[in-house]
Amino acid sequence: MDKRAGPSTVLTADELVLPSVAAIRPYEPGKPIEEVERELGVSSAVKLASNENPVGPSPLALEAIRRELASLNRYPDGGSYFLRNKVAARHGLSPQHIFLGSGSCEIINLLALLFLRPGLNALAADHSFVIYRLAAAAVGAALKSVALREDFSHDLEAIAAAIDAQTALVFLDNPDNPTGTFYRRGQWREFLKRVPQRVVIVADEAYFDFVRDPDYPDSLEDHDGARMLVTLRTFSKIFGLAGLRVGYAVARPDIVRLLDKVRQPFNLTSLAQAAALAGMDDREHVEKTLKVNREGIAFLERELRRLGLGFVPTQANFILVEVGDGRAVFERLMRRGVIVRPMDGYGFPRHVRISVGLEEENRRLIEALSRVL
């Protein structure tokens, strides 16, 4: 090494990666309960920040995990054979149409890796799930955002009009995170007519199970074998398995084969596979979750109106609420042991996102919100 070289000649790691990667603002997850209790000295904190299932995982899933524990010295089934076949049967498809990932986020990243590169772009609605932007940036592609409609829903007409010769992917979360809004069946069908066949459409339906409006379009009905359509679903929400990271994609077999080529070996743990297999059969757990969510949404909407707070009507398991200074309200609520999600990272600095909890958690949130406001 040249001893005359000064510190200014030392390269930083940022100089060795794509500029889009160096510029990434890391994803900000919801604050864990343990961290808040440790840092602020509060006890019995409740977390209403990450759209988790407050009911917990299925008892059948927990029992399946217990049975699997003695085999943790073995690698999991690398092809997730039984789970892939069960998911396929649920949707009346062949296993060749199903790809299993470590949560929907892994699949989103793999789709970006496959279909995006420097010089190409992806489209998404403004303020939508931040992982779309991170996935595009990681491979050096641009993500073009299209403004939401006045009702905070996706403007599919404007998104279709924004497609250009360099557009390779379109990300659509329906219902949208963080607004909880959805686009309707007629809008979706018109959108499909306008999208070139070469463009991959990713219909991210993580909150599909919570939707109550009959005009919601289930994208699985539109897999015709011709268009490049990928539907994403997850076990994190309705099945309460967020900690195990299980998601899946429904797509044409040629797309599934490509995803299988670039995924990591053993991307689903044996515990995750066992829990998802068992949880799919627990209809009682699903119905209980839906009941808790319906009642929680009704309670929160009623109480938010009483407090004079504006919110976006939701079809998911969370509500976007306008509170003034979202970051300040988030901090004040944490000091009272209630964890919500500030939305400045999504471009909504005046809002927080509140996940629906159990009845006593929802009441505690409203009480704390009344005091901090």
Residues 195 and 304 occupy one common structural domain: no
Q: Which of 256, 279, 302 is the last residue of a domain?
A: 279
Q: Report yes or no on 6 lying in a domain.
A: no
pLDDT recorded at residue 182: 97
pLDDT < 50 positions in the chain:
1
pLDDT recorded at residue 173: 97
pLDDT recorded at residue 26: 80
- Could you tell me the CATH number of the domain that includes residue 21? 3.90.1150.10
Give the Cα separation of 98 and 252 in Å (integer).
8
- One-letter amino acid at 179 equals T
Q: Which of 279, 294, 324 is the last residue of a domain?
A: 279
Paired residues of 247 in beta bridges:
101, 234
- The side-by-side arrangement of strands in the sheet containing 341-342 is 310-311, 318-322, 351-355, 341-342
Crossing angle (nearest 10°) for helices 103-115 and 131-138:
40
Give the start-end residues of each E strand in 32-115. Answer: 46-47, 98-101
- Could you tell me the CATH number of the domain that includes residue 93? 3.40.640.10
C-beta of residue 373 within 8 angstroms of C-beta of residue 344? no
Structural domain count of the chain: 2
pLDDT in tens, 43-93: 788 999 999 999 999 999 999 999 999 999 999 999 999 999 999 999 999
**Residue count (the chain):** 373
Q: Which of 279, 301, 319 is the last residue of a domain?
A: 279
Q: Report yes or no on 5 lying in a domain.
A: no
Q: Report yes or no on 139 lying in a domain.
A: yes
- One-letter amino acid at 173 equals D
pLDDT recorded at residue 53: 97
Give me the phi and psi of 101, to 5 degrees please.
Answer: -130, 165
Q: Which domain holds residue 125?
A: 59-279
pLDDT recorded at residue 34: 85
Q: Report yes or no on 247 lying in a domain.
A: yes
- The model's pTM is 0.92
Residues 48 and 151 occupy one common structural domain: no
Looking from the CA of 346 toward its CB, the CA atoms found within 13 Å total 26
Q: Report yes or no on 2 lying in a domain.
A: no
Give the Cα separation of 15 and 119 in Å (integer).
20
